[in-house]
Amino acid sequence: MPDHALNLFDLQHGWSDYRTVEEVVFDNRVEWYWGDVEVSAVQVMLAESIISPAFAKVTVWFRGVGTTHYVADAPSLAAYIAKVLPGVKALAHQEYLVIE
Residue 98 lies inside a defined structural domain of this protein: no
Residue 99 lies inside a defined structural domain of this protein: no
* C-alpha atoms less than 13 angstroms from C-alpha of 55 in its C-beta half-sphere: 12
| pLDDT over 90 percentage in the chain | 45
Cβ–Cβ under 8 Å, residues 45 and 27: yes
Q: How many domains is the chain partitioned into structurally?
A: 1
Residue 31 and residue 87: Cα distance in Å, rounded?
Answer: 21
What number of other Cβ atoms are within 10 A of residue 56's Cβ?
24
Amino acid at 61: W
Domain range for 26: 4-93
pTM (2 decimals)? 0.81
Tens of pLDDT, residues 51-75: 778 899 999 999 999 999 999 999 9
Residue 75 lies inside a defined structural domain of this protein: yes
Residue 1: its pLDDT value, please? Answer: 42
Q: Is pLDDT of 9 > 60?
A: yes
Residue 8 lies inside a defined structural domain of this protein: yes
- 33/24: higher pLDDT: 33
Q: Is pLDDT of 41 > 90?
A: yes
